[in-house]
Amino acid sequence: MGIIDYLDYIGIVAFAISGASTAIKKRMDYLGILIMAGVTAIGGGVIRDIIIRRDSLPIFFERYEYSLLILLTTAFVILTKGQIRWSFALDIFDALGLATFAIEAGITAISMELNFITFCFVSFITAVGGGIIRDLFAREIPHILRPREIYAVAAVGGSVCFWFLRQLIDLQVAAYICIALTFFTRLLCMRFRLALPTVKPPQARS
């Protein structure tokens, strides 16, 4: 089992916890929690595979262990309800899923010898796709569109660093460094409320 498999598992568990946590906050039933965990965990990866694996099914439908991971993770979240600070867990696991999937998708793109632009797009859509679906299902503005949030920028920034760093050092070492970079960038931006500038709309004339 290679580094892509390990990163896939980490990302699926992290985003499944994120999706299930959101479902609990929204007071969904058990089925709703499972659906939210599933779409958050696999959404970005399925979109990625549709784009770059046009002649075959998305990997999720070929590997049953992914479904098992989502089921076990959902059961864990349900059983530990009340013992974990869900708002804190949501931020942590969402950031971990974002970082892991961004770099994992980058490794996949490099293995397929895709160019830099395609590499960035694949990393981006894999990292944010599941979170967008989760937020839309929860009837919230997706993180990627919220003002005062560094979300997609963290994923793309980590991926770009990985593109160049893997040319200088071992690929696995570069991957773990850039996952940590993306993860902590996202958390630090939330902690200190760092954000990109916004454009103020013109004030209506009285």
Q: How remote is the C-alpha of 69 from its chain's centroid?
A: 16
* Residue 149 token pair: 């949030």
pLDDT (tens digit, 9 = 90+) per residue, 65-110?
999 999 999 999 999 875 666 667 778 888 999 999 999 999 999 9
130 has a pLDDT exceeding 80: yes
pTM listed for this prediction: 0.90
DSSP-assigned letters across all residues of 50-86: HHH-TTS--GGGG-HHHHHHHHHHHHHHHHTTTTS-H
State residue 4's pLDDT score: 76
Instruction: Classify 185 as helix, strand or coil.
Output: helix
192 has a pLDDT exceeding 70: yes
Closest of 164, 189, 183 to residue 10, by C-alpha: 183
**N-to-C CA span, the chain:** 66
2 has a pLDDT exceeding 80: no
> Distance between CA atoms of 118 and 160, rounded to whole angstroms?
12
Q: CA Rg, the chain, in Å? A: 17
Identify residue 181 by its one-letter amino acid code.
L
State residue 82's pLDDT score: 53
> Distance between CA atoms of 23 and 29, rounded to whole angstroms?
8
Tokens 């071992």 — which residue?
170
Could you tell me the pLDDT band of residue 54, with boundaries at 50, 70 and 90? low
Backbone angles phi, psi at 182, to 5 degrees: -65, -45
| Domain boundaries along the sequence of the chain | 3-191
State residue 206's pLDDT score: 58
Q: Is the dihedral of CA 126, 39, 53, 2 positive or negative?
A: positive
Polymer length in residues for the chain: 206
Q: Are 116 and 13 in contact (CB under 8 A)?
A: no
* Residue 127 token pair: 């990292």
State residue 84's pLDDT score: 61
